[in-house]
Amino acid sequence: MTLKQLFIQNLKEFRKKEELSQMKLAEYCHISLGYIGEIESGRKFPSTELIEKISHVLRIEPYLLFKNPKGSSITADTSHSSPLPYKVKKHIKTRIKEQIKTQVKTQINSQVNLSLREILNEINLILDDI
């Protein structure tokens, strides 16, 4: 079971335990009935603010909507997610950019130093001829 599926299952159970219809839950959370239906069917996922509202209406702590009942295990939903989390990708990109910048600077400095040495050698040759 994925975390999203677990959330949906817990939401339905807590809503029914409180004897609330989707319509009443939507009304108390100041959202549309259709949105609750989309959440419970897995087409949408609520924001953290809405999760807080829902948990307040259901008179539970928000974490309970994600609590895993004994015996079931959470699996990763890889159907539409990338293999690496966004923060990891961003960190890798940042590190690669830094490494590229360092390499480019090193190469430019090397070329500039080489050019300066060549210029100085040319100047020395000219001065020697005078």
- Of the pLDDT bands very low, low, confident and very high (cuts 50, 70, 90), residue 112 is confident
Which CATH architecture best describes the domain 3-66?
Orthogonal Bundle (1.10)
Burial zone of 127 (CB within 10 Å; 0-12 exposed, 13-18 middle, 19+ buried): exposed
Say how far apart CA 110 and CA 67 lie, in whole Å.
Answer: 58
Output the pTM of the full model: 0.56
pLDDT tens per residue, range 41-89: 999 999 999 999 999 999 999 999 998 877 565 555 545 444 556 667 7
pLDDT of residue 42: 94
pLDDT of residue 41: 95
Most confident of 13-27, 71-85, 86-100, 107-121: 13-27
